[in-house]
Amino acid sequence: MRKIRITGTGNYLPELVVTNQMMSEIVETSDEWILTRTGIAERRLSSGEPTWYMGAQAARLAISEAGLSGEDIDLIIVTTITPDYYTPSTACIIQSEINAGKAACFDINAACTGFVYALDMAARYLMSDDIRHILIVSTENISKIVDYSDRSTCVLFGDGASAVVCSRPSDQDESAMLATVLGSEGQGGQYLYSKALDVKHPFIKKEQVWPDRFGQQDDHYVNMDGQEVYKFAIRALSDSVLKVIRKANVSIDELRYIIPHQANSRIVNAAARRMKADPQQIISRMSDFGNTSSASIPICLDELIRSGRLRRGEKVALCGFGAGLTYGAAIFIY
């Protein structure tokens, strides 16, 4: 068992609310189609706030909630697929914003599973003597890579950020990570991707130009095979939760909440039936935020903690799934 205590959380959701009705003014769709197929009623979109800014705002709230200052943070892990720069990392930019001078910083890309990967890493880092407080920031401006003329993807996504401070608890504290399950299926990469820059320099010969691995043209938009992702998501979500439950040696009834990645309510409902979870345990908030990729799980976690619905000592399962393809689940005692 790895000792880890969530000591502070915070969210940043952009002010701009885009309803399904507003989406139907830019693409051929309807509120009814989006709601019944996805459970999404509206999403927040950035009005230009960069990814680092949203992350820094969430981080400030989380650190203050933890009763700490930036100087107390030993490590910053940012999860994002929509950074503002190739380099510096978003974690380094957030470090300078929150004056976390002694922190080591890096970003990870595990797409929508990013937060679960980061939490697993945090629990492992906290086992070492020289790290006491870790800041995880999940921040996504998915609108940067969405084609707003493609109705099959643009209705799904929203922007937002969330941050969590993880600290090493005292020996008497029961807060802990009970088990994690992480995995990837790289051979499914073509089902969901967004392309980065090509190799282009003055010495390149034409015949050396490589065709794109996934057949993508020159844009950087999210490209998705919705039905393949749908099937993968239901399987990944239910299998990884069942696996992590076995690994943690708990029963599903002992879980106060199961927080799945907020992609689509049909995926979540189908997976919940498959794992025989009580609907009351399942957190489903995509109606208000859409799919915010790696930020979606910690946004829900922050809401549960701030509203007092999650109490110390209760067990929670998290489960992410997404591009890569990646998946992961964790069970911890809050």
- Find tokens 């969210």 and name the residue: 11
112 is annotated as an active-site residue: yes
Shortest approach of ligand ACO to residue 86 CB, angstroms?
A: 23
Q: Which of 12, 53, 230, 334 binds ligand ACO (CB under 6 A)?
A: 230
Does 116 sit near ligand ACO (CB under 6 A)? no
Tell me which residue has its CB nearest to ligand ACO.
Answer: 226
Q: Are 300 and 85 in contact (CB under 8 A)?
A: no
Question: Which of 261, 264, 300, 319 is labelled catalytic?
Answer: 261
Question: Which of 141, 291, 300, 319 is labelled catalytic?
Answer: 291
Does 156 sit near ligand ACO (CB under 6 A)? yes
319 is annotated as an active-site residue: no
Does 152 sit near ligand ACO (CB under 6 A)? yes
- Please, what's the largest Cα pairwise distance for the chain? 65
Binding mask 263-302 for ligand ACO (x = CB under 6 A): xx--x-----------------------x-----------
Shortest approach of ligand ACO to residue 325 CB, angstroms?
A: 8
Tell me whether strands 104-108 and 75-79 are parallel, antiparallel or unpaired: parallel
Q: Among residues 321 and 332, whose Cβ is nearest to ligand ACO?
A: 321
291 is annotated as an active-site residue: yes
Shortest approach of ligand ACO to residue 301 CB, angstroms?
A: 17
Q: CA 248: distance to chain centroid?
A: 22
Does 240 sit near ligand ACO (CB under 6 A)? no
Contacts of 103 (CB under 8 A, 6+ apart): 70, 73, 74, 75, 76, 95, 135
Question: Which of 112, 154, 166, 319 is labelled catalytic?
Answer: 112
For residue 244, how many other CB atoms are within 10 A of its CB? 23
Does 327 sit near ligand ACO (CB under 6 A)? no
Question: Rounded to an integer, what distance in angstroms lies between the CA atom of residue 162 and that of residue 26?
Answer: 29
Residue range at the interface with ligand ACO (CB under 6 A); choices 61-69, 72-80, 150-158, 299-307: 150-158
Q: Which residues pair with 277 in a beta bridge?
A: none
Shortest approach of ligand ACO to residue 91 CB, angstroms?
A: 22
Question: Rounded to an integer, what distance in angstroms lies between the CA atom of residue 79 and that of residue 234?
Answer: 23
3-state SS of the chain: helix, strand, coil percent to 5? 40, 25, 35
Length of the chain measured in residues: 334
Q: Count CA within 13 A, CB hemisphere, residue 311.
A: 0
Closest residue by Cα to residue 19 from 296, 267, 290:
290
Query: Which positions from 200 through 229 interact with ligand ACO, judged by CB under 6 A?
Result: 224, 226-227, 229
Q: Which of 142, 192, 234, 283 binds ligand ACO (CB under 6 A)?
A: 192
Backbone angles phi, psi at 10, to 5 degrees: -165, 150
Question: Rounded to an integer, what distance in angstroms lies between the CA atom of residue 7 and that of residue 28?
Answer: 45
Interacting residues toward ligand ACO by CB under 6 A: 29, 33-34, 37-38, 112, 151-152, 155-156, 192, 224, 226-227, 229-230, 233, 263-264, 267, 291, 321-322
Residues recognised as catalytic: 112, 261, 291
